[in-house]
Chains A and B, each alone.
Chain A
Amino acid sequence: MLRIRCPWCGERDEVEFRYRGDATKLRPAGDADLAAFAAYLYERDNPLGWHVEWWLHVAGCRQLLKLVRHTLSHEIHAVLAPSDEVSLPTAEARR
């Protein structure tokens, strides 16, 4: 069970949230070529390790959150607002 510390609501169970995917993908400029759009829409790094991702607090404040979470240990390093800068943990990814 993940416990996510929402900056607006406090710590809540994962069942209140919905995962919304990789938050590092940025929409290409409007005049970018098709390959850039295909990569944006479909390709994912899918790392084993720290992952920056969107979560929607759907059964709470309904804010979109940016999480830094480990994809093996599920440790949550940071819960941020969408526009916040992300810094990945420097220590070796814990197993």
Chain B
Amino acid sequence: MPAAPDTIPTHSRSERESSGGYSGWRLLREAITGHRGWSRAWAKPAPRPRYRVVIVGGGGHGLATAFYLATQYGITDVAVLERGPIGLGNVGRNTTFVRSNYFHPQNIRFYEFSLQQWEKLEQTLNFNAMVSQRGTLNLFHTEAQRDLFTRRANQMRLLGVDAEAVSRERVKALVPLIDLDNGRYPVLGGFLQPRGGTVRHDAVAWGYARAASAAGVDVIEQCEITGIVRDAKRVKGVETTRGFVGADIVCLAVAGHSSRLAAMAGVTLPIETHVLQAFVTEAVKPVLDVVLTYGPSHFYVSQSDKGGLVYGGGLDGYNTYGQRGTLPMAEELAASAVTLMPGLARLRVLRQWGGVMDMTMDGSPLITRTPVDGLILNGGWCYGGFKAIPAGGITTAHLIATGAPHPLAAHMGLERFASGHTVDERGAGPYPYAH
């Protein structure tokens, strides 16, 4: 491996291996020896001229794919190329929920597999990702919503996934601040997935980057893709700001920007890019210990371990690459929050931010081959990318390693649109802004 041409300090693989695992004992030992034994969590190698697999995008899905390629499929000749530093893209911008409360059987199976990976993620990665299965509670406010949620809960239970109907009284017990009779949208009850919850999103990025690096993957930051090199049939590699990197397989994991990267290879995708916003209030003592979604508008909220209420809503509704917040959504979500829990009116909002989503034409993701041989796409995650990270990583690694779709992600191919096999959870039709 050539020496790094830049000034970023590097650690050799043996140095990393000798840095040891993370544990309570390790923390104690380091504490009494002045914290001098810690080393960098992942190496900072320079790109080599060629890899078997190049993964574009060092977010959750890119890093997870690299990690599972190395650990489950034995492919370690892998580079993850990230435009900026690890953790500043959508993996660090979401509202951190994990759940598997879908309706379509394909979606339930995929996201349930993902939830099962979350449940053992910290042991898999040897990293504290603060997995907190506090429960996901969806409220209903009309008889029709009750029927819809009951149908969804029954579908989940048929597939062995936990789902419970929750009475008005139990909603009040779970969420003491709630105003059940808010005049306009009285709460009739709820639908709870007890195993749903939250995960510390930054730790997911850091944990996968550290574990992938330790497994032999080159995690390369500050390396932006400027072009995809292909011949008539097959992908050859990528042009980057740090030179050409050849590859047998190039995997795009750049949700939000999939259309732009695919266009570099001459591929047009069934995707529009939209902004999704999130907000956090000042920190207060514990007031909410479930993930709560409100039925009349698109609004969801949880309380972080630091105490801030983290909340978000729907899309702004028009396509944009602007990773920033807007005022109409700030107003709409504040109104939803105060209708649901009037006490929240006393809180001040600290921050508002946005991330850009690949919104697909049916609201379901893409883990797929493309018309260019060797070019694999993991994208189209709409709102659901964070919770899907472990399953997305495993199934994308499977597709790269074996050339065939993983059974759990077989419905996520690009060909489903032309053949009419779309998986449209909301039944909204081919309008990306409607999902």
Q: Tell me whether A and B are bound partners.
A: yes
Q: Is B268 located at the chain interface by the 8 A CB criterion?
A: yes
Residues of A within 8 A of B318 (CB): 2, 14, 19, 53, 55, 69
Task: Determine the distance from Cα of A19 to Cα of B433 in the docked complex, in whole angstroms.
Answer: 8
Inter-chain contact A44/B317, CB cutoff 8 Å: no
Kindly state whether residue B361 has any CB partner on chain A within 8 Å: yes
The minimal Cβ–Cβ distance linking B335 to chain A, given in whole angstroms, is 12
- Is A72 among interface residues, defined by CB-CB distance under 8 A? yes
Is the contact region of chain B dominated by helix, strand, or loop, or is it mixed? Answer: mixed
Question: Given the complex of chains A and B, what is the CA–CA distance between A48 and B431 in angstroms?
Answer: 19
Segment touching A, from B56-64, B92-100, B171-179, B320-328: B320-328
Query: Would you call A19 and B328 a contact (CB within 8 A)?
Result: no
Q: Do A72 and B269 contact each other (CB < 8 Å), given the known contacts A38-B418, A42-B361, A44-B259?
A: no
Q: Which residues of B contact A2 (CB under 8 A)?
A: 318
| B255, chain A: closest CB distance, angstroms | 13
Q: How far is the CA of A14 from the CA of B430 in the complex (A)?
A: 23
Determine whether the beta carbon of A46 is less than 8 Å from that of B272: yes
Check B431–A21 contact: CB distance below 8 A.
Answer: yes
Which B residues are in CB contact (< 8 Å) with A41? 361, 417, 430
A29 interface residue per 8 A CB criterion: no
Cα(A55)–Cα(B260), bound, Å = 24
The SS class assigned to the A binding surface is mixed
Assess whether A74 is in contact with B320, with CB atoms less than 8 Å apart. yes
Q: A19-B319, A72-B320, A72-B322 are in contact. Are A42 and B417 (CB under 8 A)?
A: yes
Given the interface contacts A19-B317, A21-B433, A35-B418, does A44 sit within 8 Å of B328 by beta carbon? no
CB pair A43 B317 closer than 8 Å: no
A18 to B317: give the CA distance in the assembly, Å: 7
Residue of B nearest to A40 (CB): B430
Name A55's closest neighbour in chain B (CB-CB): B318
- Is B384 positioned at the interface, with any CB of A under 8 Å from its CB? no
User: Can you sample 30 A-B contacts with CB below 8 Å?
Assistant: A13-B328, A15-B328, A19-B317, A19-B319, A21-B272, A21-B431, A21-B432, A22-B272, A38-B417, A41-B361, A41-B417, A42-B418, A43-B270, A44-B269, A44-B270, A44-B432, A45-B259, A46-B269, A46-B272, A47-B259, A48-B260, A48-B273, A51-B319, A53-B319, A69-B318, A71-B273, A71-B319, A71-B321, A72-B320, A72-B322
Which B residues fall within an 8 A CB radius of A?
259-260, 263, 268-273, 317-322, 326-328, 361, 417-418, 430-433
**Given A21-B431, A55-B318; 20 other pairs, CB 8 A cutoff:** A1-B327, A1-B328, A13-B328, A14-B328, A19-B318, A21-B272, A35-B418, A38-B418, A42-B430, A43-B268, A43-B269, A44-B270, A44-B272, A45-B259, A46-B259, A46-B260, A46-B272, A48-B273, A71-B322, A72-B320
A interface residue numbers (CB < 8 A to B): 1-2, 13-15, 18-19, 21-22, 34-35, 38-39, 41-48, 51, 53, 55, 69, 71-74
List 6 tightest A-B contacts by C-beta distance, closest first: A46-B259, A19-B318, A38-B418, A42-B270, A42-B417, A43-B268
